[in-house]
Amino acid sequence: MAGGEEIPADIKAMSFEDALEELEEIVQRLDSGKVSLDDSIAIYTRGTQLKRHCEAKLKAAKERVDQIVVGPEGALATVPADGD
């Protein structure tokens, strides 16, 4: 795992939306400047774990998505999403 830290089980169990919401709350807390240094480090660490979880969820979703294309003569087909 990047950063040498395993994603905690409670984060792994989160939906993308729940993880993103918590990540947004962390950013707001850090931006407020009203968090002690020790708390800042702890919530920043959790934020990086949430970010990695969200990225993994997005990657997995992208791998499942098919792209609908119109072929010659108007025939519809699906192709796997590219790796962009």
Structure tokens at 51: 């970010």
CA dihedral in degrees (11, 12, 17, 19; nearest 10)? 20
Could you report the per-residue pLDDT of 12-45, keeping only the tens digit for each? 999 999 999 999 999 999 999 999 999 999 999 9
Q: Give the CA count within 13 Å in the CB-facing half-sphere of 9.
A: 0
Residue 51 backbone dihedrals phi, psi, to 5 degrees: -60, -45
**Backbone torsions φ then ψ of 10, nearest 5 degrees:** -65, -30
60-82 tens-digit pLDDT: 888 777 777 778 888 887 777 66
pLDDT value at residue 82: 64
The CA distance from 66 to 63, in Å, is: 8
Domain-by-domain residue ranges, the chain?
Answer: 2-80
Q: How many residues does the chain have?
A: 84
